[in-house]
Structure 1
Amino acid sequence: MTNVRQLLVEGLSDALGFVVGALLGYGLGRLLGLDLFASGYGPTTLAAIVLIGLFGGGGLQAARIWRTERNKSDSK
């Protein structure tokens, strides 16, 4: 049962970290005037896609770091 709980925490925290990071990237893109939903794949659309991907990956890594630190404090 503990293994199932651990896997659930891992999956949910990864998903939440990615989604929050991607939303932050989307918001920053909007502030910079980048339009993700513009027709075609112009430079601003591609820049918005890259920004969302970078922030989504950063959020995922932040969630994994948080989980590692949490596991360290739980084992003490």
Structure 2
Amino acid sequence: MAQDFNRAMREALADAVGFVAGALAGWWLGRQFGIDFIATSEWNTRQLIGLVLIVGGCGVGRFAARRLMLRDRP
């Protein structure tokens, strides 16, 4: 039971850290290209590209955090 709880807590932490870090990385990448989704209230192609970068960053960050934090240690 303790191992199941420990694994569940590690999964939750990996999801949270990866999601937030990935979103921030996607937002930063968009700002480097001159696309700031958060700063404007318009809905145009540039803003949608910025949103895709943020959402994509969330997914990639979650995947990477899970791979790093949940690998089995010998």
Taking the aligned partners of 1:22 and 1:14, their CA distance within structure 2 comes to 12
Quote the sequence identity (%): 36
Bigger share in helix: 1
Amino acid paired to 2:7: Q
Taking the aligned partners of 1:5 and 1:65, their CA distance within structure 2 comes to 16
Taking the aligned partners of 2:20 and 2:46, their CA distance within structure 1 comes to 21
Equivalent in the alignment of 1:24: 25
**TM-score where L is the length of structure 2:** 0.84
Structure 2: runs of 5+ lacking an equivalent: none
The 3-state SS of whatever aligns with 1:19 is helix
1:14 shift after superposition = 1.2
Structure 1: runs of 5+ lacking an equivalent: none
Which of 34, 44, 47 does residue 45 from structure 1 map onto? 47
Relative contact order, higher structure (CA 8 A, sep 6+): 2
1:15 shift after superposition = 1.1
Aligned partners of 2:26 and 2:56 also within 8 Å: yes
1:68 shift after superposition = 4.1
Structure 1 moving runs of 4+ over 6 Å: none
How many residues of Structure 1 are paired with residues of Structure 2 in the alignment?
Answer: 72
Aligned partners of 2:27 and 2:36 also within 8 Å: no
Name the Cα RMSD after superposition: 1.3
**TM-score where L is the length of structure 1:** 0.83
Q: Does 1:60 align with 2:65?
A: no
